[in-house]
Amino acid sequence: MAAVVAATRWWRLLLVLSAAGMGASGAPQPPNILLLLMDDMGWGDLGVYGEPSRETPNLDRMAAEGMLFPNFYSANPLCSPSRAALLTGRLPIRNGFYTTNAHARNAYTPQEIVGGIPDSEQLLPELLKKAGYVSKIVGKWHLGHRPQFHPLKHGFDEWFGSPNCHFGPYDNKARPNIPVYRDWEMVGRYYEEFPINLKTGEANLTQIYLQEALDFIKRQARHHPFFLYWAVDATHAPVYASKPFLGTSQRGRYGDAVREIDDSVGKMLELLHDLHVADNTFVFFTSDNGAALISAPEQAGSNGPFLCGKQTTFEGGMREPALAWWPGHIAAGQVSHQLGSIMDLFTTSLALAGLTPPRDRAIDGLNLLPALLQGRLMDRPVFYYRGDTLMATTLGQHKAHFWTWTNSWENFRQGIDFCPGQNVSGVTTHSLEDHTKLPLIFHLGRDPGERFPLSFASAEYQEALSRITSVVQQHQEALVPGQPQLNVCNWAVMVTGKAFAAPSDGTCAAFTPVSKNGPHTGLQCHSWVPRAHRAQWRWPNPASRPLSHHLPVHVG
């Protein structure tokens, strides 16, 4: 709380000192906020992070003009929980974006999921309204399909995008293609009105999302402070790019998608300068989780020196690229070694708006303004959750693993590999291994790849264990888990063909690994059907009541 109060004082001082902080009436106006959230982009995908092709000149320039965070983390190694954490400032275990169907299982929001973001959660755009902000989301929502989960029900004033990723194409019989919305109106579907050529990788979606962002900035920049949440998904398999970018990267199709995103970011920053609002606009670039190595190398990025990728709680699954840009306020060319989290964007955005976080609930996000504006480092832990289980914790340079797991032997033998070419004996395990009595501890400064656990007998191990154990005990004693939202699937939600239709009774969810070319790089939610009949099974018609069965869950 002291950091929030201090940050609010700095914000007021900046408004007094900066003419850019004056609205038309001469009254102080808080800065615009532009959050750029990528999908499955890895820590090693930008030139400034060491990607050897050096194909991200605009993002590299953004870093040179602002601040780079080498130690910035997602709140979960999967998309939906991570996005819920960003917009609530709370761990998924608190805001309900997890499953209890099995121990340490990942879960998300496919078309047939019943749950979504609870009404009890206060999202960032809702709170920013108190400071006069107008908010828009462009791209992927991923926090639920039913009417009560619509982004315009949770504080956003405008939306262009989809409740899900661009999975498909589907047959529109058992499973409809995923819809695209403008506000409340469905304006088409992926692979239909919004085509994606899986053979060539051509799609114009990033250009459409860019134009939506530019139009919104032009409309709002002179009138109200704005919050723009640009959540594009071109780097999520199946990756895509528009025709001018296809075949232009040294990295293949994934690199084409990254180059188009880089170009789009450059155009947005250029527009802010042209409108003379750059020095009154805070911009932050990051990703929802690590690169999905299950789709590598053709359809996935790079996690740099880090172990494994998406769906795991090793560094490659949760450490993200992160850049902050605010000309005239954040000094150029800075590198902050502050441990950061995607949840910090919630608290930091509120501080920029002169607001404090809700006091009636635990907020996990830290206000980063001391690091951004003064270069201060604040001691804080990073908790790595997989489903309902705290898998690991980092404090300072030390990371303790209480559980290790990549994915099951069954799925690994089928070619589903979350850590291709990165086997570390006793670490990248294919069974869920319990280390709670004697955690594996790594020094991430000396060993960022988590390959050399500290000796249990060493003084360094004992000292790190003592500090981390104390922090974890405090966390777990105070933790009040939210009602799990990702336990139940119901095909009636999906087969109506309407993303925001109300379902009938639900079924228990199963998130099972499928092939590496599957709809969600290894995850599928389905109702229980005997294995021999799954390929032929269809609902007789959309009005039919689904069968209900409790299911096992086997998630990598």
Q: Among all residues, which ones are annotated catalytic?
A: 79, 142
**DSSP-derived 3-state class of residue 394:** strand
DSSP 356-367: ---SSS------
- Nearest alpha carbon to residue 462 among 482, 435, 441, 493: 441
CA angle 309, 313, 316 (to 5 degrees): 30
Does 508 show up as a binding residue in the annotation? Answer: no
Alpha-carbon span 109 to 115, nearest angstrom:
8
Contact (CB, 8 A) for 513 and 411: yes
- Nearest alpha carbon to residue 489 among 513, 506, 504: 506
Residue showing tokens 């039913």? 146
Structure tokens at 292: 């999905």
Contacts of residue 463, defined as CB under 8 A and 6 or more positions apart, other chains included, come to none
259: buried, middle or exposed (CB in 10 Å: 19+, 13-18, 0-12)?
buried
Contacts of residue 84, defined as CB under 8 A and 6 or more positions apart, other chains included, come to 92, 95, 96, 97, 117, 121, 143
Residue type, position 227, single letter: F
Does 40 show up as a binding residue in the annotation? Answer: yes
**Per-residue buried b or exposed e for 436-471, using 16+ beta carbons within 10 Å of the residue's own CB:** eeebbbbbbeebbbbeebbeeeeeebeebbebbeeb
Does 288 show up as a binding residue in the annotation? Answer: yes
Residue showing tokens 């500290």? 454
Cα–Cα distances in angstroms (integers) from residue 85 to residues 93, 121, 160, 378, in the given order: 9, 10, 21, 20
State whether the Cα torsion 462-468-474-476 is positive or negative: negative
Alpha-carbon span 253 to 249, nearest angstrom:
7
Contact (CB, 8 A) for 78 and 345: no
Cα–Cα distances in angstroms (integers) from residue 451 to residues 279, 384, 418, in the given order: 43, 18, 16
Does 262 show up as a binding residue in the annotation? Answer: no
Residue showing tokens 């949440």? 229
Q: What is the DSSP letter of 481?
A: P
Query: φ, ψ for residue 520 (rounded to 5)?
Result: -135, 45
Does 165 show up as a binding residue in the annotation? Answer: no
Residue showing tokens 């932050």? 284
* Binding-site sequence positions for Ca(2+): 39-40, 79, 288-289
* Binding-site sequence positions: 39-40, 79, 288-289
